[in-house]
Structure 1
Amino acid sequence: MSAWVGAARSEIGLVRRMNQDCLAAIDPLGFWAVADGMGGHAGGEIAAQAAIATASAHIEQVAANGLGSPQDTLRDLMTAAHQTVRDRAQRDPALKHMGTTLVALLLTPHPTAVAHIAHLGDSRAYLYRDTILTPLTRDHTMIERYLARGILTPAAARTHPDRHVLTKAIGISPTATPDITSHPLQPDDLLVLCSDGLTKMIEDQDIAALMARSGGDPVRACDALIEESLARGGEDNVTVIVVGQRR
């Protein structure tokens, strides 16, 4: 059976002075994650790095001791990341309001491949299958609430002043409960994890078109998405991971 591997890349973009995104790509354990930090100068960078480091360490520990339920593993690592960021902020008043998004993918290959996704915030996961791009996460934002209630149209949401206001994130509230879903995979599927530096520059239909031109190659797809976001202005840090089967 072919192994599932991830092509990962993070860029500062063309406007920001600091990259407050962070990623993990641990192919042998079937684990990939993207974090997008927030919270003032340096705070977002520290929050994202702390969340990714904690999540990665948790996955490695669980793998060493025998992997349990994928859903429990993801829930526990999100909780651990949340507590790490909270503890760090409490120790340093300058980091008081820091936090980060976190989207994590744990892939179990046997007996059939299944993608388990956990997320908090507006970093996203997508499934690309047979030319169709399907969102696997729903943003934890005020805008998403407005859309769900029919208060705003998608067109109005793109320019609304609350479009980046998060309702859930790592480190912000005393507790954080992630959304966790599982999705059976097919051999030619590609999975995309990304920060909003991609999705606020490129609409979903354009992401799908770029994926279609990648020929199923995760590296080509990842580079194409990053380069297009930069070509359109690179207004934020942009991080992308594309996971697929090694050919």
Structure 2
Amino acid sequence: MSPARDLGRLRFRSAARTHAGLRRVLNEDRLLDHPGDGLWAVADGMGGHRSGDVAAARVVEALSALDASESGFGRLNDLVRAVSEVNAELFAQSADGPGASPSGATVVALLAHERHFACVWAGDSRAYLLRDGAVAPITRDHSLVQSLIDDGRISAAERRRHPEAHIITRAVGAAAEIDLERRFAPIRPGDVFLLCSDGLTACVEDEELAGFMGRADLDAAAETLLAAALERGAPDNVSFVLVAAEAADKVALAQD
């Protein structure tokens, strides 16, 4: 588990796990777990595409190089710029030479600054927030199936059984320019965030997440969550980061 670090008047603890799953040889997921910088991310290399693991690694490397001394908005702008630059590079490489194929990755990133967060994403890697015992999604999938749900053509319950559930409509490297979706909101002490690849959400229902995320011991929560995915077959790579926010003064009192 990554150590806690003060960020304004909040402290953050985090625990990350990644596993190839039970049917894949290669793990194309990459994680970023930097509680000291208030930055976490999951990048999922696009299965069936050339060098999906390389694409995911390049996204995470670009994010890990961000300057933590910038202001909140400055860091957010740098994050968007970094992902956009990787997107342009990957897309340009996919057009090089005859027979070239796409190389891309989905991404979800969480940036914490003082008592606010920014969540940035493209694709079907997701973010959730546990607050006051209830879990709610922060992100909305960029996928064909999500579009069909939004249009009322299928129900949310039909999502997993749909034959085109694997089709992503937005990802890093998939187009000349990337449109990163963003969401901003305050952070409260006691909030717990989950960033994950679709390999986890394919095995664990949204309604179950509160039972895993609500554990005080993040390492135990992470181990139990990974075990649940593996017990259910884990057909894809499974990767996630759990992030817990605490009041810094409360933590200091507990340590005295």
Q: Could you tell me the TM-score, scaled by structure 1's length? A: 0.89
The 4+ residue runs of structure 1 with deviation greater than 6 A are: 92-95
Instruction: State the AA in 2 paired with 1:37.
Output: G
Matched, 1:223 2:223: yes
Give the match's secondary structure for 1:54. helix
- For 1:98, the equivalent position in structure 2 comes to 103
- The 1:93/1:106 distance shift into structure 2, 3 A limit, reads farther
Matches for 1:167-246 after TM superposition, within 5 Å: 167-212=169-214, 214-215=215-216, 217-245=217-245
Match of 1:32 among 37, 40, 48: 40
- Which sits farther off after the overlay, 13-22 or 219-228? 219-228
Match of 1:135 among 119, 134, 137: 137
- The 1:181/1:41 distance shift into structure 2, 3 A limit, reads closer
- Aligned-pair CA distance for 1:93: 6.7
Matched, 1:49 2:57: yes
Cα deviation digits, residues 71-112 of structure 1 (max 9, x gap): 423322321231233344455877631110010111002xxx
- For 2:4, the equivalent position in structure 1 comes to none
- For 1:67, the equivalent position in structure 2 comes to 71
Residues in 1 aligned to 2:113 and 2:117: alpha-carbon distance in whole angstroms: 7
Cα deviation digits, residues 128-155 of structure 1 (max 9, x gap): 1121111000000000000011000122
Cα deviation digits, residues 1-35 of structure 1 (max 9, x gap): 45213211111111101000001111211000000
- The 1:37/1:13 distance shift into structure 2, 3 A limit, reads same
Instruction: State the AA in 2 paired with 1:67.
Output: S
Instruction: State the AA in 2 paired with 1:48.
Output: A
- Aligned-pair CA distance for 1:158: 1.8
Cα deviation digits, residues 162-185 of structure 1 (max 9, x gap): 111001000011111110111211
Give the match's secondary structure for 1:101. strand
Instruction: State the AA in 1 paired with 2:200.
Output: L
- For 1:12, the equivalent position in structure 2 comes to 20
- The 1:92/1:238 distance shift into structure 2, 3 A limit, reads farther
- The 1:39/1:232 distance shift into structure 2, 3 A limit, reads closer
Instruction: State the AA in 1 paired with 2:169.
Output: T
Q: Could you tell me the TM-score, scaled by structure 2's length? A: 0.86
Residues in 2 aligned to 1:26 and 1:81: alpha-carbon distance in whole angstroms: 20
- The 1:153/1:108 distance shift into structure 2, 3 A limit, reads same
- For 1:21, the equivalent position in structure 2 comes to 29
Residues in 1 aligned to 2:241 and 2:31: alpha-carbon distance in whole angstroms: 8
- The 1:145/1:86 distance shift into structure 2, 3 A limit, reads same
- Where does structure 1 lack aligned partners over 5 or more consecutive residues? none
Residues in 2 aligned to 1:120 and 1:100: alpha-carbon distance in whole angstroms: 9
Q: How many residues align?
A: 238
Residues in 1 aligned to 2:77 and 2:92: alpha-carbon distance in whole angstroms: 22
Matched, 1:108 2:113: yes
Q: Which has the larger radius of gyration?
A: 2
Matched, 1:80 2:88: no
- The 1:196/1:93 distance shift into structure 2, 3 A limit, reads farther
Instruction: State the AA in 2 paired with 1:11.
Output: H
Give the match's secondary structure for 2:78. helix
- The 1:21/1:242 distance shift into structure 2, 3 A limit, reads same
Matches for 1:152-171 after TM superposition, within 5 Å: 152-171=154-173
- Which sits farther off after the overlay, 39-48 or 127-136? 39-48
- Where does structure 2 lack aligned partners over 5 or more consecutive residues? 1-8, 252-256
Instruction: State the AA in 1 paired with 2:167.
Output: V
- Aligned-pair CA distance for 1:45: 0.7
